[in-house]
Amino acid sequence: MTPTPSIDEPIDQVRTDILARIDRAATRAGVPTPQLTAVSKMQPDDRVAAALAAGQTVFGENRVQEAQTRWGKTFAPARDGLELHLIGPLQTNKAKDAVTLFDVIQTLDREKLARALLKAADTVGHMPRLMVQVNIGEEDQKAGVMPDDLDSFLDRLRSEYGIEPDGLMCIPPLGAPVAPHFWRLEQMARRHGLAQLSMGMSADYETAIPFGATHVRVGSALFGARKTG
């Protein structure tokens, strides 16, 4: 488990350590080194600025409105050199805003959202890269396509909507062994010829890498615990 740094620890040192851990895990597993996605949701601006200064160029956000403020206003001058991923649930009424702002949407999980994204893309003039979120633990409280429904969902995306997703994303159940879930998602992606796998967060990204993670989403291990009060 990756130790959580102090909020006052220099983020460039922490980032260097995480990148080294990622490289070592990939080397041991004989797989390509995955992309470090810095989960900047709800982080203070000074920590995000520190990550930018340290050379981080890929960020993940959970909420469209928060991301619009951060990357459309506060850090707008840096936006052109960055890759932004939406990693939280997306409401259909936010589809146009998401298509406008993000380079990758990792949480496509229903046909209604697919239709909204297509309509938004027609208006905006481009479509972000898309990943399908799988509810890998089959949890009632979580978003995502149920594993047993993935085959038919992908078939409909391709045949009815002309959408070819880049890959799959998952969030394993809290407190459960994660390796079986990462293995299962890798098997699903392999079966459908999908190259991208977004899996592994601060506590378990090193476990995800041997199962072919191409994106690891790291928040607290990079930024430290959020300031309160």
Token digits for 199? Answer: 């899996």
Specify the pLDDT at position 10. Answer: 87
Residue 196: which H helix or E strand, with range? Answer: strand 196-198
Asked if residue 170 lies in contact with residue 136, where contact means CB atoms within 8 angstroms, the answer is yes
Residue ranges covered by each domain of the chain? 11-223
pLDDT value, residue 4: 56
Tokens in use for 110?
């229903």
Tell me how far apart the alpha carbons of residues 192 and 179 are, in angstroms, rounded to a whole number: 20
212: region left, alpha or beta (phi > 0 left; psi from -120 to 50 alpha): left
DSSP result, 125-143: S---EEEEEE-TT--TTS-
pTM of the prediction? Answer: 0.94
Question: What does pLDDT average to in each consecutive run of 10 residues of the chain (229 residues)?
Answer: 60 96 97 97 93 97 96 95 97 98 98 98 97 96 96 97 98 95 98 97 97 97 72
11-223 falls under which CATH superfamily? Alanine racemase (3.20.20.10)
pLDDT, position 121: 98
